[in-house]
Amino acid sequence: MLKIENLNSYYDKIHILQGVNIQINEKEFVGLIGRNGVGKTTTLKSIMHLLRKQTGSIYFNHTNLTSIEPSKIQSLGIGYVPQGRGIFPTLTVRENLEISIKKKSESKIIVDEILEQYPRLKERLNQLGGTLSGGELQILAIARCLVAKPKLLILDEPTEGIMPVLVKQIRNELIKINKMGITILLVEQNVKTALNLCDRIYIMEKGRIVHEENSNTLKHNHEVLNKFLGIESF
C-alpha cells in the first residue's frame, strides 16, 4: 500500500532523512519509533509532500506522491493527524468535520455517522475547536480524517500531552479503526504504547531506519531496545 524508497529530505541545507526505506501493507498497523529529533515527524511530512526539498520515491497504491500537490493527497485516501492536531480553533466541531467532506450534499449524513461513533463530539457539536480539551481535540482530529473515508491513517504522537484517562480511549479507538480495515502508520514517543498497538515496528536513528521487527518479538529484544532507545526492559 505505502512504499518509501531511498527517501532523503532536507530543511534548508540540513540533511534530515538519509535514504529511508519503509513498506506498509494494506490493513497493517505499523509504528515508527526512535529518540527525539531523529526524523520521525519529517518522515510523515515527507509522505504528505509538505517539504520542498526531498528526493526518492513515495508510492501509495502505485501513485507516486512526490508528484502530487499536498492539497490533493487526502483525496487519494490518506488521512494525516499532525502534532498539534491541526484543528481550526475558530470553527465549530461540526465545521471542522465538514471541511474534510468531498460531497457537501452528504455532509449531514456523514457527520451524523461519525458522531454516533464519537458521542463526546456530539455533545460539543457547536463548540469552537479552540475551546476543547487536549483529548477532545485529538478525537476531533481523528474524526475529521475519518469523514473523508481514508484507506491509510497517519498519526504523529496522538497521545502526547493528553490526560491518562483519555489516552486509553484514544488507544482503543485506534485499534477499532484498524479493525475497520484502515491501515495505520503511527509515530509514537511512548515505546510501550507503540509495541502494544502495532503489528510491526520501524526504529529510526539519525535520519535512517536502523531496525525493523514484529512487535511481539521486539518486546523481548532487549539488545535492540537498549541500543537504539535506551530501554533495558518493561
> Domain locations in the chain?
2-229
What is the per-residue pLDDT for 2? 97
What gap in Å lies between CA 47 and CA 5, rounded to an integer? Answer: 11
pLDDT under 50: residue ranges of the chain: none
Helical spans, DSSP H, in the chain? 40-47, 70-73, 93-98, 107-117, 119-123, 134-146, 164-179, 191-197, 215-218, 222-229
Query: What would the pLDDT profile of 40-93 be if each residue is shown by its tens digit?
Result: 999 999 999 998 889 999 999 989 998 888 888 989 999 999 988 789 999 999
CB 197 within 8 A of CB 170: no
Is residue 200 within 8 Å of 27, Cβ to Cβ?
no
Which fold is adopted by the domain 2-229? Rossmann fold (3.40.50)
Structure confidence at residue 225 (pLDDT): 94
pLDDT digits (tens, 9 = 90+) for 90-102: 999 999 999 888 7
Q: Residue-wise over 175-201: b if at least 16 C-beta within 10 A, else e?
A: eebbeeebbbbbbbeebebbbebbbbb
